[in-house]
């Protein structure tokens, strides 16, 4: 693991919170992610299962966590199963957790080798009345590859056809959408690393640098601080500003263009999500600054509007009302277009076609039921934008906030965002 050791209190408390949601005499099982194949005998770098990490801190392949709060024997109420280290693995793959390592990381006393899972699991299944099994239930997920969890579900249904199987994902979504203080500490570290990366960019960007050079500078800053890109970075100059998911990152940054950077760091599997749009030459044109400040006003109004008890869809609609007003001032919309708009497809969508924001945490697009009002502890991105292909540029600005009982708190308030401040730093 690249990050510093994490207090296992975080994971122990998360498990306790989950046990309060489980039905009596039921157990829950969470599997690690697969190592995904690429070509020949290659695999992608292991990406930890967010739910397994949330409950145990374990980031190692093939691991299994079993939770059974009402097990007859106390030792069976939390069990962690791991690959057993051996000399062959040590030579070819390196370090694997010992039982003592895993106890220290997770706070789980009963750690067993994976070979012991089948017998232990059968014994506890026959003792339980129900089993909670996990799967990817993110609404926009494109699930094409069969996961370890899916294979495990099928095996369980085959081996225990008369058992009561239940969905674990909704319970984990409920827990993960609101962040504890310990989680916020890790998220703030990711934001601090991101801040340093952006400040580095303000001194680096100038006409003639390429998008990939900007990406490389950010990577250097993030990695040396124990972070990494939270998602594939978007480094988009000129007309590329208007491509929402632009990942080519190979064009030169030219005088007079804007550079849109959607490229934040993650730390300890918790992710920041930052977007800034800056002038390549160090000065916005008059038109660019007008559009920039319009987006900034929508951003700030939307941050102020992210209050406890509000529904996500209402928050989105409020931002669209603000955006309509700004687009009218910019001459991009006419009053008649706003007056005749379809409420389900507001006029602003021609220039602001994406959502206002999403939950943030162990996944960049984090889990959580967006039909439930915002609760204190909910972390959200706020990312309005205006994209004008006919004028060859777009502007998106994005901050991360946490909803509290006393109003929203901007976790990125130290990252430069005022147009004048950005120009000042770039021209020092």
The architecture in CATH of the region 9-176 reads: 3-Layer(aba) Sandwich (3.40)
Q: For 249-265, write each residue's pLDDT tens digit.
A: 999 999 999 999 999 99
The domain locations on the chain are 9-176, 181-426
Q: Where are the beta strands (DSSP E) in 2-150?
A: 26-31, 64-67, 78-82, 110-113, 130-133
> In CATH, what number does 181-426 get?
3.90.230.10
Residue partners of 339: CB distance under 8 A and separation at least 6 = none
**pLDDT band for position 428 (50/70/90)?**
confident
For residues 33 and 59, is the Cβ–Cβ distance under 8 A? no
Q: For 160-218, write each residue's pLDDT tens digit.
A: 999 999 999 999 999 999 999 999 999 999 999 999 999 999 999 999 999 999 999 99
As given in the structure block, the two tokens for residue 34 are 């697969």
**pLDDT band for position 219 (50/70/90)?**
very high
pLDDT of residue 88: 87
- Whether residue 1 is predicted with pLDDT greater than 80 in this model: the reply is no
Whole-model pTM: value is 0.95
In this structure, how many other beta carbons lie within 10 angstroms of the beta carbon of residue 78?
23
pLDDT of residue 43: 86
Q: For 22-70, write each residue's pLDDT tens digit.
A: 999 999 999 999 988 889 888 888 899 999 999 999 999 999 999 999 9
Q: Where are the beta strands (DSSP E) in 95-141?
A: 110-113, 130-133
């Amino acid at each position: 693991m690249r990050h510093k050791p994490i207090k296992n209190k975080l994971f122990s408390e998360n498990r306790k919170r989950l046990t309060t949601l489980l039905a009596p005499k039921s157990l829950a099982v969470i599997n690690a992610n697969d190592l995904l194949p690429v070509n020949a005998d290659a695999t992608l770098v292991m990406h930890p299962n967010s739910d397994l990490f949330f409950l145990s801190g374990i980031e190692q392949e093939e691991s299994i966590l079993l939770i059974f709060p009402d097990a007859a024997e106390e030792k069976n109420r939390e069990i962690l199963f791991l690959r057993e280290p051996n000399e062959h693995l040590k030579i070819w793959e390196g370090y694997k957790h010992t039982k003592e390592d895993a106890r220290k990381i997770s706070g789980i006393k009963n750690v067993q080798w994976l070979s012991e899972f089948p017998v232990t699991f059968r014994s506890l299944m026959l003792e339980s009345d129900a089993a909670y099994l996990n799967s990817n239930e993110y609404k926009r997920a494109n699930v094409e590859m069969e996961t370890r969890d899916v294979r495990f579900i099928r095996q369980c249904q085959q081996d225990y056809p008369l058992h009561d199987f239940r969905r674990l994902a909704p319970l984990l979504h409920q827990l993960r959408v609101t962040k504890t203080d310990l989680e916020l500490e890790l998220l703030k570290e990711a934001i601090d690393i991101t801040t340093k990366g952006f400040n580095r960019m303000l001194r680096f960007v100038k006409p003639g640098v390429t998008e990939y050079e900007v990406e490389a500078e950010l990577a250097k800053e993030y990695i040396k601080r124990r972070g990494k890109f939270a998602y594939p970075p978007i480094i988009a100059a000129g007309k590329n500003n208007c491509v929402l998911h632009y990942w080519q990152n190979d064009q030169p940054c030219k005088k007079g263009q804007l550079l849109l950077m959607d490229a934040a760091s993650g730390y300890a599997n918790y992710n920041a999500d930052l977007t800034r749009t800056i002038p390549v030459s160090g000065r916005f044109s008059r038109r660019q600054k007008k559009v920039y400040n319009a987006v900034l006003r929508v951003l700030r109004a939307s941050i102020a509007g992210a209050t406890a008890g509000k529904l996500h869809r209402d928050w989105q609609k409020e931002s669209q009302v603000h955006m309509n007003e700004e687009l009218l001032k910019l001459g991009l919309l006419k009053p008649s277009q706003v007056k005749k708009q379809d409420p389900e497809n507001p006029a602003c969508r021609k220039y602001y076609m994406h959502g206002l924001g999403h939950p943030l945490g162990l996944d960049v697009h984090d889990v959580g039921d967006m039909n439930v009002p915002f609760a204190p502890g909910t972390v959200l991105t706020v990312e309005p934008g205006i994209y004008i292909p006919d004028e060859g540029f777009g502007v998106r600005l994005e901050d991360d906030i946490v909803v509290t009982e006393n109003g929203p708190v901007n976790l990125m308030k130290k990252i430069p965002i005022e147009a004048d401040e950005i120009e000042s730093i770039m021209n020092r």
